Structure 1
Amino acid sequence: MVKKLVLAVLPILFSYFVVAQNPHLSGTVNVDLQTGQITCDFNLTNIPDLGKEYQILLNKGFNIKHLKNAKGEMIAYDGFYNGKMRGEGLTYLPKNEDKVIENPKQLEINYTGAFPIYANEYNFTDFKGLIAFNGKTLRAAEQSKWYPIIYDVKKDQLLEQVTYEITIKCSNAAQIFVNGDQPKPGPEAKFKSDVAIAPLLFIGNYKVQQTSNALFLNTDMNKAQLAVFEMEIAEMKAYYQKKLGIPYHTKNVIIEHTAVEKFNKGRIWGFATYPTIAIAGGNLAETVDEVNKKFKDSTDYPFYAHEVAHYYFGNVLQPNSTLFWFFLESTAEYLSVKATEAKFGKIYSNAYFKNACLNLKNFKVVPLNKITEINQIGGTYRYNYGPLILRGLEQMIGEKRTFEFLKACLKAKSKTTDYAFFKDQALLSGITEAEWIAFEKQFIESENVTDLIKY
């Protein structure tokens, strides 16, 4: 999520998560902060029985040394030549005599890659899917596919969350952190999680600060600033918990990292890999007003509220399929508007929707019921236009019933989040067929809803 201009330590309450068989990752990772080289020697076990309907995804910057089966025998694979991409990863398929190996319950994979060092230099962009070295730290989230990720073809779902037991080695790192375990001093440390989670990496030379409900990595806040920051986040959690009816007792990990894209002053970018929230582009200590006990800039509140909302849409519900971006980002942005409205009043939400409508006046979209491919919902669509669709639903049925719809989505288990899912959960939440038809005609099938939104 990028802020501005508008705009966790650890185990979570997992009883609300989709119950599924999660792969287990074990092995060793070697990282060099000065050269950008990463070498991994992994065993992937407990792989779900997907028959031949699976792929293995790995960041395009890695070169596979070998792939072996459970017996330690080298096996062939497709993808090394003219490989197909899925997001940030190349797709690989284990083969036996030109036939896909069915249900490989265990795979050994060894690979190496080197990535640019952005020390006083910049890329044209930075995003969650980038493996980012800056000479002092390495940041690698699950979206970057720094570890092998199984893709379930039938369900159109990435099995990013894994249990793990891995050793990280980095001779030039003072601290090493893997999402799901505590940060530990380098140059070598073992990490383990018996709860399935997406193992984000944050390695380098930084300070660790701790409060009663959070860890702060690479920040430089005093006790008063830490307390204010934690208080603001706790307020957002309490609002979501009350409105969505699902506990949010997670202790977060807040990372301040350096973007490898040049940011103008006042611009902040962040993402969530729960329980971690990673923020780039600013000094967190400078964002806190100790005297008045709040964020100095009011636009910081909705920015953080968006990332906090990903606990629900991104973790409790793990979107997939054609409406992936709508159910991941548009929902989180809509929730951030509602949380900020609860704090600052309707003057905020009215201004938000007015500005969005003015800025998107000429924006043309593919209606949600016509989406056939995930990336038809681009950045502007998912962050700015999608929330207007949810605002339209709120206009028709009211805020309370809109939250009932969102609750229904969160309670759905192992569903494909396509347009049929949208409609099914709406009807399950109590929206009538007649109301759905009216909503669909007005707000879904329109090429632009800005003239319909009230503020």
Structure 2
Amino acid sequence: MTKKLLLTVLPICLLSFVFAQSPHLNGTVNVDLQTGQITCDFSLTNIPELGKDYQLLLNKGFNIKHIKNAKGEVIAYDGFYNGKMRGEGLAYIPKNGDKVLENPKQLEISYTGAFPIYKDDYNFTDFKGLIAFNGTTLRASEQSKWYPVIYDVKKDQLLEQVTYAITVKCNNAEQIFVNGDEPKAGPTAKFASEVPLAPLLFIGNYKVQQTSNAVFLNTAMTKAQLAVFEAEIAEMKAFYHRKLGIPYQTKNVIIEHTAVEKFNKGRIWGFASYPTIAIAGGDLGGTIDEANKKFKDSTDYPFYAHEVAHYYFGNVLQPNATLFWFFLESTAEYLSVKATEAKFGKVYSNAYFKNACNNLKNFKVVPLNKVTEMNQIGGTYRYNYGPLILRGLEQMIGEKRMFDFLKTCLKAKPKTTDYAFFRDQAMASGITEAEWNAFEKQFIDSENITALIKY
């Protein structure tokens, strides 16, 4: 999309049935909105049996006071000197003497850090992995690794989804919200979730508005605007339920927050940390056409449909490994096109694919079956080119069977989402080997498929 910038990265929550065991986070968080300081004292329990194949990830802006074992003893760890980065986090490896601590049943970790406050100035970028203070609010998602995240080395899996029982303190905050629980009045509040979730943190001085199926934080919408917004989101959920066979019944939390990057007028971006959708750069009330009960701008509907689609790809299915970005973002974008097509007709989807093909006709990619590292699928690839690959598959097998394929992916037991997974789920959905070979020859092996896309 030219108007909207989608930066939905490293999402969202796992349903409790996806992984039998998720870590449990317990402890306290102290935040100062005026200085940007965060101090945490946490224990991690219920850690899966990972042997020595794990790391403990924490935002690079934090300094560790100490790590302790289940007995409360201070233990050694690698990573404090010449540490390796994984995304936004430094990787730490707890040790028992000179050896990696195997199968830690419990880890206690205390740390503190201070982050910049953006009031009248900006960073060159804003994204989900940034811990963002603006003097009024703090936004910190799971991608920022504001809490300790276990990394499963063998499965190439971030265990960001945790059950939790934490106390958050912020003396200069009127409201505190932790994803998975209700927003509560500050300056001190307790939060808990028995369902594994990615605990996004949103603290500050803002208004809380409630409707029957959503909670809105930091917006100034009227009741009429709230009703229209909620109805548009509900329509998207109903479409995905019909097509994918999995209901989306959870109440969403919609956050309007200030970007710490300077935006041109009309540009917004968003991310999802299920069930929260966070939007930066816009006035949500200003997007609503109350008289006609819809979004004013035609680009708003697919923008939100993309975020809603992350409930399925990012939550029901949590991607990992080499095709992480393809199964996270390309699928969500493809689904948003189909949802918008259902509302506005094929005139929308034809225009979408025509525009994408024109913009990408000289774009070269590493074919999916040759991707060896997840970040070979960059931003343009994952958001713009990847949906064309899925469109190509739809051209060959039809829309109904395409949704059968997507449903099969969602029902698959947790696996490595690499190219073999892509092919295996296609076969399991009823796509024949001859059909797959034809698809692979035309739409996978090529470095550019724009000339093959029909619209």
Q: TM-score range by the shorter chain?
A: over 0.9
Structure 1: how far apart are the matches of 2:65 and 2:370? 42
Match of 1:384 in 2: 384
Match of 1:212 in 2: 212
Match of 2:252 in 1: 252
Structure 1: how far apart are the matches of 2:320 and 2:119? 35
Match of 1:281 in 2: 281
Shift of 1:97: 2.0
Q: What code does the residue aligned with 2:310 have?
A: H
Is 2:27 the counterpart of 1:27?
Answer: yes
Match of 1:225 in 2: 225
Q: What code does the residue aligned with 2:3 have?
A: K
Instruction: Write the deviation string for residues 210-255 of structure 1: whole angstroms up to 9, x where unpaired.
Output: 0000000000001100000000000000000000000110110000
Matches within 5 A, 1:76-115: 76-115=76-115
Change (3 A) 1:205 1:184: same
Shift of 1:414: 1.3
Match of 1:128 in 2: 128
Structure 2: how far apart are the matches of 1:336 and 1:421? 22
Change (3 A) 1:374 1:12: closer
Change (3 A) 1:85 1:14: closer
Structure 1: how far apart are the matches of 2:60 and 2:358? 39
- Give the number of aligned pairs: 450
Match of 2:375 in 1: 375
Matches within 5 A, 1:278-317: 278-317=278-317
Match of 1:174 in 2: 174
Structure 2: how far apart are the matches of 1:162 and 1:109? 16
Q: What code does the residue aligned with 1:48 have?
A: P
Structure 2: how far apart are the matches of 1:135 and 1:378? 33
Secondary structure of the residue that 1:167 maps to in structure 2? strand
Shift of 1:5: 4.6
Structure 2: how far apart are the matches of 1:346 and 1:23? 45
> Does the CA-based 8 Å contact 2:55-2:153 persist in structure 1?
yes
Match of 2:412 in 1: 412
Instruction: Write the deviation string for residues 354-401 of structure 1: whole angstroms up to 9, x where unpaired.
Output: 000000011000000000001000000000000000000000000111
Shift of 1:12: 9.1
Shift of 1:161: 0.5
> Does the CA-based 8 Å contact 1:3-1:269 persist in structure 2?
no
Q: What code does the residue aligned with 1:332 have?
A: A
Change (3 A) 1:12 1:357: closer
Structure 2: how far apart are the matches of 1:334 and 1:13? 21
Secondary structure of the residue that 2:66 maps to in structure 1? strand
Instruction: Write the deviation string for residues 114-148 of structure 1: whole angstroms up to 9, x where unpaired.
Output: 11101121111111111000110000000000000
Is 2:178 the counterpart of 1:162?
Answer: no
Secondary structure of the residue that 1:451 maps to in structure 2? helix
Q: TM-score, normalised by structure 2?
A: 0.97
Structure 1: how far apart are the matches of 2:134 and 2:143? 19
Match of 2:9 in 1: none
Structure 2: how far apart are the matches of 1:92 and 1:18? 26
Instruction: Write the deviation string for residues 240-293 of structure 1: whole angstroms up to 9, x where unpaired.
Output: 000000011011000000011111111110000000000001000100011000
Secondary structure of the residue that 1:194 maps to in structure 2? strand
> Does the CA-based 8 Å contact 2:175-2:205 persist in structure 1?
yes
Match of 1:261 in 2: 261
> Does the CA-based 8 Å contact 2:5-2:268 persist in structure 1?
no
Match of 2:440 in 1: 440
Shift of 1:73: 0.3
Match of 2:358 in 1: 358
> Does the CA-based 8 Å contact 2:15-2:315 persist in structure 1?
no
Shift of 1:6: 8.2
Match of 2:71 in 1: 71
Query: What stretches of structure 1 move > 3 A for 4+ residues in a row?
Result: 11-15
Secondary structure of the residue that 1:93 maps to in structure 2? strand
Match of 1:186 in 2: 186
Q: What code does the residue aligned with 1:422 have?
A: F
Structure 2: how far apart are the matches of 1:349 and 1:279? 24
Structure 2: how far apart are the matches of 1:13 and 1:251? 16
Secondary structure of the residue that 1:94 maps to in structure 2? strand
Structure 1: how far apart are the matches of 2:414 and 2:302? 30
Structure 2: how far apart are the matches of 1:52 and 1:276? 34
Unaligned runs of 5+ in 2: 7-11
> Does the CA-based 8 Å contact 2:57-2:151 persist in structure 1?
yes
Q: What code does the residue aligned with 2:89 have?
A: G
Secondary structure of the residue that 1:422 maps to in structure 2? helix
- The two structures, once aligned, show a CA RMSD in angstroms of 1.3
> Does the CA-based 8 Å contact 2:15-2:196 persist in structure 1?
no
Change (3 A) 1:210 1:125: same
Q: What code does the residue aligned with 1:88 have?
A: E
Change (3 A) 1:3 1:40: farther
